[in-house]
Structure 1
């Protein structure tokens, strides 16, 4: 009886190990899909086709308003905005 239970426990543990590996793989797959979705969403953003020069003018206007005391917050939106903002000295 004890031997049967040990065998059963071994089988259950093997199943659990296999399932944990499968769960880990599926979680990694899910993360990769979510990351790709975010990339694709950013490609569809309406601000994306705006030329850097126009974006720089928008940032300058934003920074010119005394109510906007922290224009550097714009640099946190995305890499492109950061590059444009820091490439527009008049905005800061």
Structure 2
């Protein structure tokens, strides 16, 4: 190819090259427009997908079996998850941790006196 040489094109070759370059520039411009359009569609679809995913997650959580556990059973589960030794005020462990999960768990934990008997 003469592109990587010091070849000096003739006037006729220059005219042809300008036409080819012009066509190539037009094609590049069209492709850039197409990429921008497709990117916009992709961005919009990604945004809508996230909305639907959040909707699905929140509604799936509503159907979680843990929501239907009787309070007595939830209290028993709480008692069985107590560590052997837990310092007062350690929010990273039961029983205090349980009070941060949900309103129902907080009420159940607070309403289960045996959870609080062995605080050290």
Q: TM-score, normalised by structure 2?
A: 0.54
Unaligned runs of 5+ in 2: 1-19, 87-92
1:30 aligned onto 2:49: yes
Contact preservation (8 Å) 1:74, 1:82: yes
Change (3 A) 1:80 1:38: farther
Unaligned runs of 5+ in 1: none
Match of 1:44 among 63, 74, 79: 63
Instruction: Name the larger-Rg structure.
Output: 2
Give the drift of 1:29.
Answer: 1.1
Q: TM-score, normalised by structure 1?
A: 0.67
Give the drift of 1:48.
Answer: 1.2
More helix by share: 1
Q: How much is the aligned-residue C-alpha RMSD, in angstroms?
A: 3.1
- By relative contact order (CA 8 Å, sep 6+), the higher-ranking structure is 1
Which residue number corresponds to residue 13 of structure 2?
A: none
Deviation readout 1:39-87 (Å, 9 max, x if unpaired): 1110101111346x54762465235x444852155467x54466447x6
Residue correspondences, number? 88
